[in-house]
Amino acid sequence: MTALVWLRQDLRLEDQPALVAAAAAGAVIPVYVLDDEAPGDWRIGSAQRWWLHHSLAALDKSLRKHGSRLILRRGPVVAALRTIVDETGADAIHAIRHYEPWWRAAEDELGDRLTLHDGNHLRPMREITTGAGAPFKVFSSFWKALSATLPPEEPLAAPREIPAPEKWPASDKLDDWHLLPTKPNWAGGFDIWTPGEAGVAAALEAFADVGADYEHQRNMPSVEGTSRFSPHLHHGEVSPRQVWHALSERGVRDAAFDRELAWRDFTSGVVLAMPRYADENGRPRFDRLPWRRAPDDLEAWQRGRTGYPIVDAGMRQLWATGWMHNRVRMIAASFLVKHLLIDWREGERWFWDTLVDADYGNNSVNWQWISGTGVDSNMFGRIMAPLVQSEKFAAADYIRQWVPELRKLSDEAIHDPETAGCRPASYPPKIIGHREARERALAAGREVR
């Protein structure tokens, strides 16, 4: 008996039910297929590709310690898997279930050859549904239903042995995929990350030191108070239930963090129910909203040149490191949609390309939440004031780190140097005033109503 283990966003040996099932039955051929055709507009973004390169290398190294290896192929995923089955005479394909629309289509096309396992959520998605058996579209209801099933099951240990086939199929060379960045002045700070399961272990240990004060510190961008698990979770180097139990073992249990972990599961349910959620407003009436086509404003936002220091710091952090502090993500996203009145999909796609943790469900649901266009979202008329947010969450040192033009300004002046009368010539004026932007956004919202 020989089985393929089809790997996607589940690049780990621990708590890997597809791998455990295949190894228990016979020889195993772990396979990763880089398919840039099936997702269409949602091909893997540039920052994710950097992470993917290092994560695949780390996984192959781990597999080789177990007498196995990772087979790489590129092209349409269903055709690639069928080719490997024909080459090896494999009897089955095992995989962890995914909820992105292109993965669901591929799973359906593979049919009876494919055995699917649950493993990327706190609980199997089919168990957390409404009374009608449908995925939840409101988080509070989802959280209530999920909470009744927690804690999650204990994670599975990695297989002690991963039986090898008599003959390995051919594999692409990872370097030939050219996943690493070529854009100038980009990704200079990606060295803060350690992709792979070793990086997960380090992140868990680091978070254990701050987790007790997570609810307060998570909103302070100048403080290292967040978990930074998101890219590891997105690429499946760790499962949510592994995170849950690992933190419990370390005495770190925080209600705010638990809800954020559950939010990732919730967003999978939203895109399961509404596969085009990343492209279409969750509330169709917002199709009438008069978005502005303003390429210069969009570029100023992307490059961190809006004249609002907290927004610019976040966008520059994103460009350099592939990640942005969660509180600042909300501020920056709200600024694009409400202050600049630019379609949320423009921001969503920028994040998709530049975030190492860009997740189809999480990214789309978060953008629609801040935009007010989603099925469970903030009100469109609720407009975050970036200058107030910057002062409230003590972002002065964060701004100094990412906007060096303002480094010498005082804590009082740095949030709004233009009003304070000390804006350096090297730093741009505000792209639009807060009051003017707010009135324009509210007028646009009235058109929708």
> Would you list the DSSP string of 47-116?
HHHHHHHHHHHHHHHHHHHTT---EEEES-HHHHHHHHHHHHT--EEEEE---SHHHHHHHHHHGGGEEE
Q: What is the pLDDT of residue 225?
A: 85
pLDDT band at 251 (very low <50, low <70, confident <90, very high): confident
Fold (topology level) of 284-448 = DNA Cyclobutane Dipyrimidine Photolyase, subunit A; domain 3 (1.10.579)
In the chain, what are the domain boundaries? 1-119, 121-154+195-274, 284-448
From the list 109, 260, 280, 418, the catalytic residue is: 260
pLDDT, tens digit, 9 for 90 and up, residues 403-445: 999 999 999 999 999 999 999 999 999 999 999 999 999 999 9
Mean pLDDT, rounded, of the chain: 95
Mean pLDDT of the 26-54 span: 93
Is there a shared CATH topology between the 1-119 domain and the 284-448 domain? no
What token pair was written down for 295?
């390429």
Catalytic residue from among 102, 367, 369, 402: 367
Query: pLDDT-derived band of residue 254, with 50, 70 and 90 as boundaries?
Result: confident
Pair type for strands 71-74 and 92-96: unpaired
Which of the residues 344, 352, 369, 402 is marked catalytic? 344
Model pLDDT, residue 184 = 75
326 is catalytic: yes
Domain 1-119 CATH class label: alpha beta
Q: Which CATH architecture has domain 121-154+195-274?
A: Alpha Horseshoe (1.25)
Q: Out of 177, 186, 263, 418, pick the active-site residue.
A: 263
Residue bearing the bigger pLDDT, 215 or 300: 300
344 given a catalytic annotation: yes
Residue 325 confidence (pLDDT): 95
What per-residue confidence (pLDDT) applies to 207? 87
- Whether 260 is a known active-site residue: answer yes
129/72 Cα distance (integer angstroms):
36
Confidence tier at 214 by pLDDT (50, 70, 90): confident
Query: Catalytic: 301?
Result: no
Residue 113 identity (one-letter amino acid): R
Catalytic status, residue 42 = no
pLDDT at 40 (0 to 100): 77
Instruction: Say how many C-beta atoms besides its own lie within 10 A of residue 420's C-beta.
Output: 13
Catalytically annotated residue among 109, 177, 280, 326: 326
Cα distances from 118 to residues 27, 72, 112, 156, 364, in angstroms, run 21, 23, 17, 12, 23
Tell me which of 291, 391, 405, 418 is the catalytic residue: 291
Q: Which residues contact 120 (CB under 8 A, 6 or more apart)?
A: 9, 10, 96, 97, 98, 236, 239, 240, 268
Is a pLDDT exceeding 70 seen at residue 347?
A: yes
